[in-house]
């Protein structure tokens, strides 16, 4: 990495960190909600950390297994179910704990934390989102469409920040679409779908969030079964190729043995 690109990367990450600190400070001075949100915030933080530590591993292109984390679904749902201060705590706890356990470097933890706060907490502050008990039955269809657009914009902003960081890190070796790749887009769609379920059930009653964890368990089981099935199919498809390769290697070894010259004393001993 050249010194110029390294300086740009440092400036970008420091700027994100400063903006994230300002947004977190502003969120801490927001008016507190009258609803008991801290138990829900603790549940969201633990769930986000667990999903970041144990992502869904599904087959992808080029015979690889791609991880898909559903932790952003709880950040998206927290934009509408939690006040900004509680959302900052959820994001900070989930990302910091999961990445410390995985052994991620400190500067990457700071970047991921800053990008998540900018992507999910900033829209919640800008649009004055949060828990409002009297608005559930007010134009539900229009409100659901608006909230889905805000959530999609937050996910897009997160991917844009990651794409800029990739461009500054890799330079010309950056993928064409940056972070907007197949597995990342699938992960974003999974997160949006799961966040809608969390949002709808959480607004009805918090006890109904148990359905979300049942859904997560079923999804994890199905993905695991699908992964094992695809891996078995790949092994069966590669088995004839392995046999042909083994036969070819045996034939080559036999040809090499026949081509090796014999010693003169060996021939004399054999003639006797």
17: DSSP letter: H
The SS3 of residue 211 is helix
Q: What would the pLDDT profile of 218-229 be if each residue is shown by its tens digit?
A: 988 988 888 888
Residue 31, pLDDT > 80, answer no
Average pLDDT for residues 55-79, to the nearest whole number? Answer: 85
The pLDDT assigned to 8 comes to 85
Architecture category of domain 3-234 in CATH? Orthogonal Bundle (1.10)
Residue 85 contacts residue 27 (beta carbons within 8 Å): yes
**Does 105 or 135 have the greater pLDDT score?**
105
Residue 235, pLDDT > 90, answer no
Q: Single out the residue of 198, 207, 199 nearest to residue 143, CA to CA.
A: 199
Is the pTM higher than 0.85?
A: no
Average pLDDT for residues 183-196, to the nearest whole number? Answer: 88
Cβ contacts of residue 69 below 8 Å, gap of 6+?
51, 52, 55, 56, 187
Residue 1 contacts residue 98 (beta carbons within 8 Å): no
Residue 123 contacts residue 150 (beta carbons within 8 Å): yes
The pLDDT assigned to 122 comes to 92
Residue 47 pLDDT grade (very low, low, confident, very high; cuts 50, 70, 90): very high
How far is residue 222's CA from residue 226's CA, in Å, rounded to a whole number? 6
Q: What would the pLDDT profile of 124-150 be if each residue is shown by its tens digit?
A: 888 888 776 654 545 565 677 788 899
- The single residue listed with the structure tokens 């179910």 is 81
The SS3 of residue 174 is coil
The pLDDT assigned to 271 comes to 44
Rg, C-alpha atoms of the chain: 27
Q: Where are the alpha helices (DSSP H) in the chain?
A: 3-28, 38-53, 72-81, 84-102, 106-116, 122-126, 140-170, 182-204, 210-259, 264-271
Residue 82 contacts residue 37 (beta carbons within 8 Å): yes
Residue 98 pLDDT grade (very low, low, confident, very high; cuts 50, 70, 90): very high
How far is residue 21's CA from residue 66's CA, in Å, rounded to a whole number? 32
How far is residue 97's CA from residue 172's CA, in Å, rounded to a whole number? 33
């Amino acid at each position: 990495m050249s010194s110029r690109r390294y300086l740009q990367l440092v400036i970008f990450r420091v700027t994100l960190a400063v903006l994230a600190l300002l947004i977190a400070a502003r969120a801490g001075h927001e008016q507190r909600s009258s609803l008991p949100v801290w138990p829900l915030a603790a549940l969201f933080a633990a769930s986000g950390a667990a999903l970041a530590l144990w992502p869904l591993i599904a087959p992808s292109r080029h015979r690889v297994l791609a991880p898909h984390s559903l932790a952003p679904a709880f950040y998206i749902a927290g934009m509408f179910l939690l006040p900004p201060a509680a959302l900052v705590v959820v994001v900070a706890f989930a990302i910091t704990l999961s990445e410390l356990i995985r052994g991620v470097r400190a500067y990457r933890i700071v970047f991921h934390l800053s990008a998540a706060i900018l992507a999910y907490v900033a829209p919640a502050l800008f649009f004055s989102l949060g828990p409002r008990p009297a608005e559930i039955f007010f134009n539900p269809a229009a409100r659901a469409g608006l909230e889905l657009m805000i959530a999609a914009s937050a996910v897009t902003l997160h991917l844009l920040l990651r794409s800029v960081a990739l461009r500054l890190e890799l330079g010309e070796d950056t993928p064409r679409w940056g972070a907007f790749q197949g597995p990342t887009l699938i992960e974003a769609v999974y997160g949006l779908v799961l966040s809608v379920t969390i949002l709808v059930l959480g607004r009805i009653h918090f006890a109904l969030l148990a359905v979300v964890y049942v859904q997560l368990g079923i999804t994890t089981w199905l993905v695991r079964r699908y992964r094992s099935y695809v891996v078995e199919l790949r092994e069966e498809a590669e088995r004839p190729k392995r046999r042909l390769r083994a036969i070819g290697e045996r034939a080559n070894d036999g040809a090499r043995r026949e081509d090796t010259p014999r010693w003169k004393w060996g021939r004399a001993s054999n003639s006797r």
